[in-house]
Amino acid sequence: MPEDELEDLPGVGPATADKLVDNGFESYQSIAVASPGEMSNTADIGESSASDIINAAREAADVGGFETGATVLERREEIGKLSWQIDEVDELLGGGIETQSITEVYGEFGSGKSQVTHQMAVNVQLPPEHGGLDGGCIFVDSEDTFRPERIDDMVRGLDDEILADEMERREIEGTPSDEEAMEELVEAFLDQIHVAKAFNSNHQILLAEKAKELAGEHEETEWPIRIVCVDSLTAHFRAEYVGRGELADRQQKLNKHLHDLMRIGDLFNTAILVTNQVASNPDSYFGDPTQAIGGNILGHASTFRMYLRKSKGDKRIVRLVDAPNLADGEAVMRVQNEGLKPE
C-alpha cells in the first residue's frame, strides 16, 4: 500500500506514515491487527494515538467483526496445502501443510526435523498440480542447519516428470539427464530460498519482523513467500533462559515470537513450519517419555503438532499428535539422499 493512503487515517500525517511503514505497518490490515502497546513501542507513537489509529484502520479494513460460518468456509477455500510428496503423510495431514497455520515438528536429534524443513523449501516452489504452492521460502536458521547441498540433493531427487516441467517453466534449456541444466535448475530453486541465521533469541524475534517485511515485498511478485521455516524455534530460548526463575520471561518472549510468525501466515497466506526440541519426562513410567518443550504457549499456538521418531535404518515414524479437524494417526517415511520418500 502506498504511504499516502495511510495518511487518510485520522492522526496520521507524513511523518507518522513514514514511521508506520518503516516498522512494517504498511497496510490497514497490518495496523488493524496490532495492539496499541506494540505500535507505541515499535513505531514510537503515543499509546493513545496508536489506539485511535488502530481503531480507524479496523473500521476501514472491516476486520474484527463477526461473520457467518459460510463466510469462514469461503475464506478457508483460499488456504493452500503443501504436499510432502508422500501420500501416507499427506493423507494424515488432510492434504499437506496448511497455509495460515503453524505446523510444529518435534523429535529427538537425528529424527529428521531439519530434513522436513529443507524438503518443504523445495516442495513449496512446485506448482499446485505437483503439490506445491508456487512460492518462495524464508528460512530462519537458529542451529546452523541449513545446507544448500541438501537442497541440491532434494531437487535432483524429484520425479523426472516434475524436473522436466520445472525446467520448462523456468525456461531452462535441457533435460534432467543434462548436468549443466540440472545445475541451473538447482540454482533457480536456491534463489527462491531466503536464509538468515539467528544468533540469539532477540535476533530471532527481529528476523520474524524482517520476514514480514520480505513477505510484503514479494507479495505481488512471481514468487510470493508461501512458507516460513524456523529451525529450530526453541533452541536459543532454551539455552538463554535457564531455570524456573527465567521461565515466565522465556514464555512471554516465545509467545510474542509465535504471534509475529502467525501474523505473517494470516497476512500473506503463508505456511509457518517450526521445528522444536524435546526433553525426556522422568515421571513417565509407561510409553514414550519424549515430550516437546515450549509448554502450553507453544502447544496452544501450534495448529498442527507432529512428532518424528526414529525407526529401523532410514525409516521415520510421523505421528500427528494434535490437529483441530483431523484424527491422530501415524505414517511412515524414509529419509534418503534424494530427500523424504515413501516407505
Residue 110 annotated in ligand binding: yes
Question: Could you tell me which of 93, 68, 115 has the C-alpha nearest to residue 271?
Answer: 93
Alpha-carbon Rg of the chain, whole angstroms?
Answer: 21
**Checking phi first, is residue 159 left (phi over 0); if not, alpha (psi -120 to 50) or beta?**
beta
Residue 108 annotated in ligand binding: yes
**Contacts of 193 by beta carbon, 8 Å cutoff, 6+ apart:** 121, 136, 137, 139, 151
Q: φ, ψ for residue 208 (rounded to 5)?
A: -65, -40
Residue with the three cell numbers 457467518: 68
Burial of 337 (0-12, 13-18, 19+ CB in 10 A): exposed
Residue 131 annotated in ligand binding: no
Q: For residues 36 and 51, is the Cβ–Cβ distance under 8 A?
A: yes
Residue 109 annotated in ligand binding: yes
Side-chain-facing half-sphere of 156: CA atoms under 13 Å: 18
Residue 113 annotated in ligand binding: yes
Q: For residues 123 and 84, is the Cβ–Cβ distance under 8 A?
A: yes
Handedness of CA 306, 257, 48, 33 (dihedral sign): negative
Residue 13 annotated in ligand binding: no
Task: Give the span between the Cα atoms of 279 and 234, in whole angstroms.
Answer: 12
Binding site: what residues are annotated? Answer: 107-114
Binding site for ATP: what residues are annotated? Answer: 107-114
